[in-house]
Amino acid sequence: MIIVTTPSIEGRKIKEYIGIVSGEGLIGANVYKDIFSGVRDVVGGRTSTYEVELRKAREIALKSMEEKAEKMDANAILSVRIKYSNLGGTMGNTIMVSITGTAVILE
């Protein structure tokens, strides 16, 4: 599966546009407790724990999107966009990573 942020792939023709595919991944409130209780992990303004958890959520969302595209018989996903949202409210301090793209069949 080819997954790109661009609307096309140089040298490849789009045979068929299948549709929009998406995936989501969540980071729970316990990550925030871990981050703020472990301030000593902060080096140069960066928190490695937080980055690792964000990466995991992004990978889950990406895998989910890819699996949906494969079920649609796509061989590529174009125009991929990643969005991070703080759900707040009743969800506590939960961050959702949403990934969307266009599933296509390339020649």
| Span 19-29, pLDDT tens digits | 999 999 988 75
Q: What is the pLDDT of residue 27?
A: 82
User: Which CATH code, of 3.30.70.60, 3.40.50.12280, 3.40.50.1980, 3.30.110.70, is assigned to 2-106?
Assistant: 3.30.110.70
pTM: 0.79
The total of other beta-carbon atoms located within 10 Å of residue 19's CB is 11
